[in-house]
């Protein structure tokens, strides 16, 4: 009997789960569209590229959508079963809440396993390709990044304008800094200007009027020159209107699998261990090297030797302290990198485990709601997932700053909600046991009085 009930409940969960996934994915895609619509239109991106961005975005979405869809499905399914008194009938038949949960928990375990594989095998490459594609899109037609009142870097020029007419491309109060070898070589100021593309959009021309050019003479850095102009043209080649695909080699923490990140963590930990082990010895050697000459320090001043040695000692102590502080900072930087990677490693497993936690929390809540509508399921899901997500993001910030460990930051939400779910299930089971006991007493009484059972 319990096995039949488990398969029945599992079949009831499939429909709401798929429906919840479609609804949540649709909401997230609309959010992405609103976020990138100006970028896509301004850069003139082809529809196929836009579609590719959204398809690649499904990678990180699925990591969030699957646990949330599990919560939606559990709330909707058990809400409907409770509304139709099916849960009451099961409990009256002696089936405990834990037996009712056997099927949903088994499904959540399978989903958690598949999601772990997805997070380590598919998601890193998806995030890597998405980051590379968005970077290529941002680099396309960088002149469109010029905004009034803001600095824009384009091919070695830093440009700022007070106002920009997006229809006529006319500029007002233009300031341009030209850089060569990462050093400012010229500053150009103009009252007016105009943007224009030539050579099929691959060349940006800045036609400036009524301005000045300030700079340093390259042959004699001590000389400064200032030149007035009525008209001046700046030609910036290689702007390009075509989307050029690049091959990114470097990967961020969200573009790596848990195994790859643990390799980097191990490397950083070895460096930290070596640094800490050598730090004491290095300090002792530095003290010996720095202070050995104090006994034989030449007296090149009219000051007493003791006073001279005290000043040398103070200077050497200050220098040594600075060196030790620098070493401590390097260790701290490496530790922050370790924490950053460990946060992402734990996240790859804590989110899949949330599928199981949401089953434990959603089942008693769905039974108490006694309504199987989409609004109840999505409403409860949003509230609980927002709380869960706040735990994740807040924990990540705390872990990055070293206030809590990465494990605590990523697993606290699962532990707290899991305990809450088990408490609600246990309470529901006690209520069911009390109901069964009262039903047993009523049956015995009716048998004695001859009334129908």
pLDDT in tens, 379-400: 777 788 788 888 888 888 888 7
32: Cβ contacts below 8 Å, ≥ 6 apart: 53, 54, 57
| Residue from 355, 376, 356, 353 nearest 366 by CA | 376
Are residues 123 and 177 part of one domain?
no
Segment 401-421 shows an average pLDDT of: 91
Say yes or no to pLDDT of 200 above 70: no
Percent with pLDDT over 90 in the chain: 30
132 part of a folded domain: yes
- CB count within 10 Å of CB 410 equals 26
Domain match, 58 and 150 both: no
Mean pLDDT value across residues 49-76: 92
State whether 303 and 342 are in the same domain: yes
One domain for residues 102 and 153: no
Establish if 300 belongs to a structural domain: yes
Summarize pLDDT for 319-366 with one digit per residue, the tens: 666 666 777 777 888 888 899 999 999 999 999 999 999 999 988 888
Angle subtended by helix axes 374-400 and 305-369, to nearest 10: 170
pTM over 0.85: no
Question: Residue 435: what pLDDT?
Answer: 47
Structural domain contains residue 270 = yes
Within a domain: residue 175? Answer: yes
CB atoms within 10 A of CB 174: 24
pLDDT confidence of residue 365: 83
pLDDT of residue 25 exceeding 70? yes
Q: Is the pLDDT of residue 198 over 50?
A: yes
pLDDT-wise least confident of 167-171, 355-359, 446-450? 446-450
Please check whether residue 251 lies inside any domain of the structure.
no
Would you say residue 402 lies in a domain? no
Q: What is the pLDDT of residue 372?
A: 47
Does position 73 have pLDDT exceeding 70, yes or no? yes
In a domain, 245, yes or no: no
pLDDT of 246 higher than 80: no
The answer on 130 and 34 residing in a single domain is yes
186 and 97 housed in the same domain: no
CA distance 210 to 193: 9
Last residue of a domain, one of 206, 236, 266: 236
Residue 297 has pLDDT above 60, yes or no: no
Q: Is 246 inside a domain boundary? A: no
**Domain identity same for 69 and 132:** yes
State the average pLDDT for the chain. 80
Domain residues for the domain of 63 are: 2-136+353-397+410-449
177 and 78 together in one domain: no
> What are the backbone dihedrals phi and psi of residue 2, each rounded to the nearest 5 degrees, phi first?
-60, -35
Do 368 and 333 share a structural domain? no
Please tell me whether residues 199 and 280 are part of one structural domain.
no
* Tens digit of each residue's pLDDT (9 = 90 or more) over 118-151: 999 999 999 999 988 887 777 666 556 677 888 8
Same domain, yes or no: 159 and 267: no
Q: Are residues 296 and 192 in the same domain?
A: no
Report for 40-54, 97-111, 263-277: range of highest mean pLDDT: 97-111
Q: How many domains does the chain have?
A: 3
């Amino acid at each position: 009997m319990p096995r039949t009930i488990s398969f029945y409940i599992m079949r009831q969960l499939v429909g709401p789960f798929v429906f919840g996934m479609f609804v949540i994915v649709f909401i997230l895609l609309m959010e992405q569209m609103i976020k990138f619509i100006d970028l896509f239109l301004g850069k003139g991106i082809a529809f196929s590229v836009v579609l590719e961005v959204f398809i690649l975005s499904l990678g990180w979405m699925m990591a969030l959508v699957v646990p949330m869809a599990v919560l939606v499905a559990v709330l909707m399914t058990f809400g409907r079963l409770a509304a139709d008194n099916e849960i009451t009938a099961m409990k009256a038949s002696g089936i405990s809440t834990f037996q009712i949960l056997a099927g949903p928990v088994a499904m959540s375990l399978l989903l958690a396993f598949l999601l772990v594989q997805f997070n380590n095998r598919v998601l890193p490459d998806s995030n890597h390709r998405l980051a590379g594609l968005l970077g290529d899109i941002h680099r396309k037609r960088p002149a469109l990044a010029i905004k009034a009142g803001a600095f824009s870097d384009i091919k070695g020029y830093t440009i700022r304008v007070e106002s920009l007419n997006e229809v006529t491309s006319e500029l007002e109060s233009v300031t341009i800094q030209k850089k060569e070898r990462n050093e400012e070589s010229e500053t150009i100021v103009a009252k007016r200007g105009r943007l224009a593309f030539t050579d099929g959009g691959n060349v940006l021309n800045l036609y400036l009027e009524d301005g000045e050019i300030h700079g340093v003479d390259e042959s004699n850095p001590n000389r400064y020159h200032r030149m007035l102009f009525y008209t001046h043209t700046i030609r910036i080649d290689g702007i390009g209107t075509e989307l050029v695909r690049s091959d990114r080699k470097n990967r961020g923490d969200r573009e790596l699998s848990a195994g790859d990140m643990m390799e980097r963590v191990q490397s950083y930990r070895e460096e930290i261990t070596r640094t800490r082990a050598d730090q004491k010895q290095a300090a002792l050697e530095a003290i010996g090297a720095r202070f050995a000459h104090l006994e034989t320090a030449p007296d090149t001043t009219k000051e007493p030797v003791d006073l001279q040695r005290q000043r040398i000692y103070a200077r050497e102590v200050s220098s040594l302290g600075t060196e030790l502080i620098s070493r401590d900072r390097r260790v701290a930087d490496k530790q922050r990198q370790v924490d950053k990677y460990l946060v992402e490693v734990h996240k790859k497993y804590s989110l899949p485990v949330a599928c199981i936690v949401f089953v434990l929390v959603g089942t008693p809540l769905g039974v108490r709601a006694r309504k199987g509508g989409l609004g109840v399921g999505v409403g409860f899901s949003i509230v609980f997932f927002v709380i869960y997500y706040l735990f994740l993001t807040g924990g990540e910030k705390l872990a990055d700053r070293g206030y809590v460990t990465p494990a605590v930051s990523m697993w606290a939400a699962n532990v707290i909600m899991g305990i809450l779910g088990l408490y609600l299930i246990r309470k529901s089971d006690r209520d069911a046991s009390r109901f069964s006991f009262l039903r047993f007493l009523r049956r015995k009484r009716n048998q004695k009085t001859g009334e129908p059972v």
